[in-house]
Amino acid sequence: MDFPKRSKIKPLKTPDEESIDRFAPHNCMFYIVPPQNDVSLKDFEELAIERLKLLRILEQAGLKYPKILSDEWKEHIINELNLEGLKYFVRLIKGNGNTDQDKQSRRRDYLSHFILRFAYCRSEELRRWFMAREMELFRFKFSALSSSEIKDFIEIYEMGYRPINDEQKNEIRQELQNMVTGSVDNVDFYKVNFLSVLDLVRQRKCFLKGGYAYVSSMDFSSIIGGHHQKFIEKGLMSHLKLLPEFENDERIVGIIKGLHTSYVGKDYTVNKEADIPIESLNQLSLKSYPLCMRMCHDSLRTTHHLKHGGRIQYGLFLKGIGVTLEDSLRFWREEFTKNIEPDKFDKTYAYGIRYNYGKEGSRTNWSPYSCMKVINTAPNPQDIHGCPFKLWDTIELRSKLTTYGLNAMAVQDVVSYASKGHFQLACGRYFEAVHETKLDEGITHPNAYFEYSQIIMGNRLAKEKSTPTSQQSNFNNRKQVQMNKQQEFKRKMDARIKEEHDFDEELWKLSQHEEELLTQWKARQDATQTEISQIASMDWNDDNENVEDMSQIANYL
Amino acid sequence: MPEALNGEEYDATQLPDYLRLYYKRLFPHKQFYRWLSYNLSEDGIFTHREFSFTMQDDIYIRYLSFENQSEMEKEICAKIPHKIDIGAVFNIRPKNHRSNPNIKPMQRELVFDIDLTDYDNVRTCCNEANICNKCWKFMAVACKVIDIALRDDFGFEHILWVFSGRRGVHCWVCDKTARHLDTKGRGAIADYLQLSMSGGENSVSKVTLFDKQHHSIRRARSIIEPLFNEIIIDDQNAFGSATGTERLLKMVPDENCRKELQNLFSTTIADSKSIWSTFVGYFESMRVKSQLKPKLRHIIEEVQLAMLYPRLDINVSKGTNHLLKAPFCVHPKTGKICVPFNPNLATKFDPTTVPKVNLLLNEIDTFDQKNTDATETPEDKASRVKDFKKTSMFKSTVIFEEFIRKLEQSTKAQAITVSDKRMEF
């Protein structure tokens, strides 16, 4: 869904905005009392998606800079928020304020949190993800507060923490002095049970005596964070109880149900940049496929069949990387008909493939699965699809990666991330090992994986550069791709002219999108220029042999 | 040789015979039960506890649980385990774990495991499984540092220190708060007590200190620094060899200083005392000339901590479900009893004279022979002299009983409320 970028914070269309302010009294807030206001459906959806974007940005930042609250982490988030036009969140993570702008921002923050609770209370996994992101947001907000703002905060929420008095302070002055820079007199200290500040205990960041921790107001976020977490935890559970009632309203269910697995990044539904001939899929699968897709491909090639879930996951992926419907049909037919009659294929399976391309049934042009979707699918034991980093046990994963020619260190790296539940990080490591390079972005979409790979290998950008001489073995292949691409684009356009009555708008959108992408490519091109020139000089055949060699060696190990 | 003093060698092949007698006559079943039943202050606190027996050839029997003391005693005497481990208290009887997949640990003592093998790169007197009185000093320091932190900082009171039978110590923190800690809480305490030493296996341990030092670090320094000369310089002669001085140099995070020191060392007599005083003198003179780089400001203290600060096996402490060998087990390899000791007198504890199972059994025999009159007529168990009182295990049993007495005082109040609750209809 496209939303125009805004520089101003848009007011909400609710009749009694002011009443929200009671429940959102501070830029850094607890979400305690759920909203009692009317919210228009449009606002509802918009708020949901905006907060989802925010949480995704936090997730990405965490993947890139694992040290939460580090400067790079903060900078990354602020940049991304500005890019996404979510300026009001930026305002909220810069301390407290009471201007109209602040109030507007707080209202959106407050409402959007409660909206997303409905989407994220369903399962343990979703709740944990949501909690983790919300806590990161809260810590970010709280870290920006000054000592007096913290005091305000504690007063507003009547938390009853009172700083220790001077007498108590003097008794342990020496010890406290070691906790802070500057004089102890200028800092408030709070005495709490050590169990409520485990993070500080772990880092020896508080003075401990007899089971009590003395915490400076700077380090107080640990305690407050604990409360915040409890509020959200409880809140999610009570939202869960409300859910059945809520689900009577189809309009709302439609918005929230698939929210988590919905994908707010780049749209891969229609691929206009590339055209991939199916003959090259085998080769592509070796390097440019993420493991989840490679499994589907390998399994399809060896068993000449793929179960329903796998057909959708892999079929949509193929669409995303630029395999046309015609090619797709040919590809699946060739493979399936090694086991079954062509007639049966046409009757049973061709429908599903056309369906993926939006040519059957509801005629929706389905988006390829994002990582979230792949990770959250629950395949049956015989199924091939789903996220291998999540589904496979360590031994299986280890042996598979080894046969794919990863060295022992890389295998260990990937496996250890996977076993800790960082499936996308594991995937990123796998990417780095396969491509022998560093990856700046996190993997959030199998098609993004493919795209990064193609860029690194010089395939995608090389097209504009058109330097096929250096990659002779691939030359014919690529030439064909280029030709195909031009023809295909023209053909698609022609088809559209015939088919679509609102063609003009389509085309305009399309060309605009194309332009946007072009500028993106340009930017990336600069960044990867050096890499490309290095890789471009590599001999392609050799490369493939290496992969094979390695896997053979691995077999002997 | 302390082994020779004790007269008779321990023969591991006779372990099953020793154990049969040991469990029957010496193992303090009653005290053991008094400890783990905690006055029955919480529901299922004893019955839901997991025990694990290690049988011959390292066969483990996990998820055992007992209804009461007599069942436990009967099982131990019947199965004669080579080793008994204590696990967590679960939400259901552990022995029913197969029929209930939702088994989860409810509470568990906070435990620490310190092993001398982790000190192998600083101790020169022994290595691996061996232990002498010199290496025990590392354990004594560790014990002191950890014990005081647990008591003063966290306010824990019921702490049992146990010699692990060969070359390490176990620490059981039995306060209610400690028993109910979740994994995160245990991890936090373990990390608090652990000083991160950069450098992995075979490399040099390095501690980094800053100007502002946490009070627990300063306290640890006040324990360690007075002992450094005795342990590291005199006993271990740690810098008396080429590898020793090399290791010391590697702890200096500055290329130039390292080179200068190396030159100085080559003209110094190669004994630990001279090397160390050269080392200290070098940095002292730098300090006086105020040429000392900020990162080298605490180098002396850093070296001292790196060599003597307790090295915990923190994974043991972090889990709620980790099995740990019970006190009063017999170490199968050494025959030594895992005896509790007093942490305040840890330096006086002598691991080489810890009673061995075979000698204990001899002691009983000798005692009984001396008092033949008493054994001639079979009397009530109660009136007989308790067997452990006839042996050198007596002292450690007293320490254990003292620990239990204090523990029972603290759980009494709670035990009353629990029994009140049971009366309600």
Residues A35-62, mean pLDDT to the nearest whole number = 86
- Which tens digits make up the pLDDT trace of B295-342? 888 999 999 998 999 998 888 898 888 899 999 999 999 999 999 999
Residue A4 has pLDDT above 50, yes or no: no
pLDDT at position A423, please?
A: 87
* Chain A positions in Cβ-Cβ contact with residue B177 (cut-off 8 Å): 195, 211
pLDDT at position A529, please?
A: 53
- Amino acid at position B101, single letter: P
Q: Are B172 and B326 in contact (CB under 8 A)?
A: no
Residues B341-361, mean pLDDT to the nearest whole number = 92
A371 is in an annotated binding site: yes
Lowest-pLDDT range of A300-309, B237-246, B299-308, B413-422: B413-422
Contact A175 B152 (CB under 8 A): no
pLDDT at position B226, please?
A: 95
* Chain B positions in Cβ-Cβ contact with residue A210 (cut-off 8 Å): 152-155
Highest averaged pLDDT of the listed ranges A30-39, A360-369, B42-51: B42-51
* Chain B positions in Cβ-Cβ contact with residue A175 (cut-off 8 Å): 215
pLDDT band at A475 (very low <50, low <70, confident <90, very high): very low
* Chain B positions in Cβ-Cβ contact with residue A204 (cut-off 8 Å): 192, 214, 216-217
pLDDT at position B58, please?
A: 86
If asked whether residues B76 and B211 sit together in one domain, one would say no
pLDDT band at A268 (very low <50, low <70, confident <90, very high): low
Q: CA nearest B188 in A: which residue?
A: A202
pLDDT at position A553, please?
A: 41
Say how far apart CA B395 and CA A251 lie, in whole Å: 76
Residue A425 has pLDDT above 80, yes or no: yes
Q: Quote the domain boundaries for residue B105.
A: 2-192+311-423
Residues B78-83, mean pLDDT to the nearest whole number = 94
Q: Is B284 a catalytic residue?
A: no
Q: For residue B163, how many C-alpha atoms fall within 13 Å in the half-sphere facing its CB? A: 33
Label residue A101 exposed, middle or buried (CB < 10 Å: 0-12, 13-18, 19+): middle
Residue A79 has pLDDT above 60, yes or no: yes
According to DSSP, the β-strands at B83-90 and B324-325 are antiparallel
How far is B213 from chain A, CA to nearest CA, in Å?
6
Q: Residues of B14-53 as b/e, b for ≥16 C-beta within 10 angstroms?
A: ebeebbebbbeebbbbebbbbbbbbbbbbebbbbbbbbbb
* Dihedral (CA of A175, A178, A183, A186) sign: negative
A–B CB contacts, 8 A cutoff, strictly below: 48
Contact A199 B214 (CB under 8 A): no
How far is A203 from chain B, CA to nearest CA, in Å?
6
Across the strands, what pairs with B160?
A: B172
Who contacts B302 (Cβ-Cβ below 8 Å, separation ≥6)?
B206, B207, B208, B209, B251
Say how far apart CA A162 and CA A308 lie, in whole Å: 61
Who contacts B288 (Cβ-Cβ below 8 Å, separation ≥6)?
none
Q: Are A211 and A197 in contact (CB under 8 A)?
A: no
A427 is in an annotated binding site: yes
If asked whether residues B164 and B247 sit together in one domain, one would say no
Q: Which of B42, B50, B73, B109 is catalytic?
A: B50
User: Where do we find the tokens 């390095």?
Assistant: B206
Contact A204 B188 (CB under 8 A): no
How far is B162 from chain A, CA to nearest CA, in Å?
24
How far is B61 from chain A, CA to nearest CA, in Å?
26
* A208, A215, A216, A218, best to mutate vs chain B, most B CBs in 10 Å: A208
Residue B37 has pLDDT above 70, yes or no: yes
Q: Mean pLDDT in chain A? A: 77
Question: Helix A408-419 to helix A394-403 angle, to the nearest 10 degrees?
Answer: 150
Say how far apart CA A407 and CA B119 lie, in whole Å: 33
* Chain A positions in Cβ-Cβ contact with residue B218 (cut-off 8 Å): 178
* Chain B positions in Cβ-Cβ contact with residue A203 (cut-off 8 Å): 191
If asked whether residues B329 and B180 sit together in one domain, one would say yes
Across the strands, what pairs with B64?
A: B51
Residues A187-197, mean pLDDT to the nearest whole number = 87
Say how far apart CA A135 and CA A179 lie, in whole Å: 25
Residues A85-107, mean pLDDT to the nearest whole number = 85
Of B402 and A175, the structure prediction assigns the larger pLDDT to B402
Closest CA to B340 of B399, B410, B274, B265: B399
If asked whether residues B299 and B339 sit together in one domain, one would say no
Residue B1 has pLDDT above 50, yes or no: no
Closest CA to A106 of A20, A7, A33, A13: A20
- Which tens digits make up the pLDDT trace of A54-77? 998 898 888 778 788 888 899 999
pLDDT at position B56, please?
A: 87
Token pair of A494 as six digits:
């022609």
Closest CA to B414 of B226, B179, B256, B185: B179
The CA dihedral of A38, A41, A42, A47, to the nearest 10 degrees, is: 70
- Which tens digits make up the pLDDT trace of B21-30? 999 989 999 9
* A135, A177, A202, best to mutate vs chain B, most B CBs in 10 Å: A202
If asked whether residues B80 and B181 sit together in one domain, one would say yes
Q: Are A419 and A396 in contact (CB under 8 A)?
A: no
Question: Helix B272-288 to helix B255-266 angle, to the nearest 10 degrees?
Answer: 130
Residues A461-465, mean pLDDT to the nearest whole number = 41
pLDDT at position A549, please?
A: 41
Q: CA nearest A182 in B: which residue?
A: B212
Q: Which of B42, B113, B235, B302 is catalytic?
A: B113
How far is A181 from chain B, CA to nearest CA, in Å?
9
If asked whether residues B268 and B401 sit together in one domain, one would say no
A296 is in an annotated binding site: no
Contact A199 B215 (CB under 8 A): no
Nearest CB to B155 within list A178, A204, A210:
A210
pLDDT at position A83, please?
A: 86
* B156, B157, B214, B219, best to mutate vs chain A, most A CBs in 10 Å: B214
- Which tens digits make up the pLDDT trace of A316-331? 999 888 888 888 888 8
Who contacts B403 (Cβ-Cβ below 8 Å, separation ≥6)?
B35, B158, B160, B340
How far is B216 from chain A, CA to nearest CA, in Å?
8
Residues B9-19, mean pLDDT to the nearest whole number = 89
Say how far apart CA A296 and CA A298 lie, in whole Å: 6
What sections of A124-215 are H helices per DSSP?
124-143, 147-156, 166-171, 173-177, 198-202
- Which tens digits make up the pLDDT trace of A487-539? 555 555 454 444 444 444 544 555 556 556 655 655 555 555 544 444 444 44
Closest CA to A3 of A59, A51, A54, A50: A50
Residues A222-245, mean pLDDT to the nearest whole number = 86
Helix, strand or coil for residue A500?
A: coil
Contact B152 A209 (CB under 8 A): yes
Of A266 and B206, the structure prediction assigns the larger pLDDT to B206
Residues B211-239, mean pLDDT to the nearest whole number = 92
Say how far apart CA A351 and CA A336 lie, in whole Å: 14
Say how far apart CA B201 and CA A298 lie, in whole Å: 41
Q: Which of B115, B118, B235, B363 is catalytic?
A: B115
| Interface residues of chain A, partner chain B, Cβ below 8 Å | 175, 178-179, 181, 194-195, 198-199, 201-204, 207-212
Say how far apart CA A425 and CA A416 lie, in whole Å: 10
Task: Quote the DSSP letter at residue A420.
Answer: T
**CATH 1.20.930.80 region(s) of chain A?**
17-148+225-241
Beta strands in B165-323 (DSSP E): 168-173
Contact B212 A208 (CB under 8 A): no
- Which tens digits make up the pLDDT trace of B110-119? 999 999 988 8
If asked whether residues B107 and B217 sit together in one domain, one would say no
Using alpha carbons only, what angle is made at residue B106 by residues B102 and B111, rounded to the nearest 5 degrees? 130
Beta-carbon neighbour count of residue B126 at 10 Å? 15
If asked whether residues B381 and B266 sit together in one domain, one would say no
> At B85, phi and psi to the nearest 5?
-110, 150
Q: Is B271 a catalytic residue?
A: no
Residues B69-80, mean pLDDT to the nearest whole number = 95
Query: First and final CA of chain B: distance in angstroms?
Result: 65
Residue A225 has pLDDT above 60, yes or no: yes
User: Where do we find the tokens 């890139």?
Assistant: A64
- Per cent of chain A over pLDDT 90 is 8
If asked whether residues B346 and B289 sit together in one domain, one would say no
* B146, B148, B153, best to mutate vs chain A, most A CBs in 10 Å: B153
| Interface residues of chain B, partner chain A, Cβ below 8 Å | 152-156, 177, 181, 184-185, 187-189, 191-192, 212-218
If asked whether residues B317 and B328 sit together in one domain, one would say yes
Of A442 and B274, the structure prediction assigns the larger pLDDT to B274
pLDDT band at B408 (very low <50, low <70, confident <90, very high): very high
Contact B192 A212 (CB under 8 A): no
* Chain B positions in Cβ-Cβ contact with residue A135 (cut-off 8 Å): none
Of A302 and A185, the structure prediction assigns the larger pLDDT to A302
Residue B425 has pLDDT above 70, yes or no: no
* Chain B positions in Cβ-Cβ contact with residue A214 (cut-off 8 Å): none
Say how far apart CA B104 and CA B90 lie, in whole Å: 6
Q: Residues of B66-86 as b/e, b for ≥16 C-beta within 10 angstroms?
A: beebeebbebbeeebbbbbbb
- Per cent of chain A over pLDDT 70 is 76
CATH architecture for segment(s) A17-148+225-241: Up-down Bundle (1.20)
If asked whether residues B31 and B153 sit together in one domain, one would say yes
According to the 3-state scheme, what is the secondary structure of A464-476?
A: HHCCHHHHHHHHH
Q: Mean pLDDT in chain B? A: 87
**What CATH number corresponds to the domain at position B338?**
3.90.920.10
Beta-carbon neighbour count of residue A498 at 10 Å? 7
Domain boundary pick from B252, B280, B308: B308
pLDDT at position A227, please?
A: 86
> At A429, phi and psi to the nearest 5?
-65, -40
Contact A201 B192 (CB under 8 A): yes
> At B105, phi and psi to the nearest 5?
-70, 135
Say how far apart CA B73 and CA B81 lie, in whole Å: 12
Q: Residues of A456-489 as b/e, b for ≥16 C-beta within 10 angstroms?
A: bbbbbbbbeeeebebbeebeebbeebeebbeebe
If asked whether residues B406 and B257 sit together in one domain, one would say no
Q: Is B57 a catalytic residue?
A: no
Residues A417-443, mean pLDDT to the nearest whole number = 86
In chain B, the number of structural domains is: 2
Task: Quote the DSSP letter at residue A151.
Answer: H
pLDDT at position A247, please?
A: 75
Say how far apart CA A389 and CA A393 lie, in whole Å: 8
Closest CA to B189 of B201, B175, B199: B175
* Dihedral (CA of A127, A133, A136, A142) sign: negative
Domain boundary pick from B244, B278, B308: B308
How far is A210 from chain B, CA to nearest CA, in Å?
4
Beta-carbon neighbour count of residue B413 at 10 Å? 10
| Total residues belonging to chain A | 557
Closest CA to B107 of B121, B87, B132: B87
Contact A175 B215 (CB under 8 A): yes
Domain boundary pick from B279, B308, B337: B308
Nearest CB to B214 within list A198, A204, A210:
A204
Closest CA to A95 of A143, A158, A157: A143
Q: CA nearest A173 in B: which residue?
A: B215
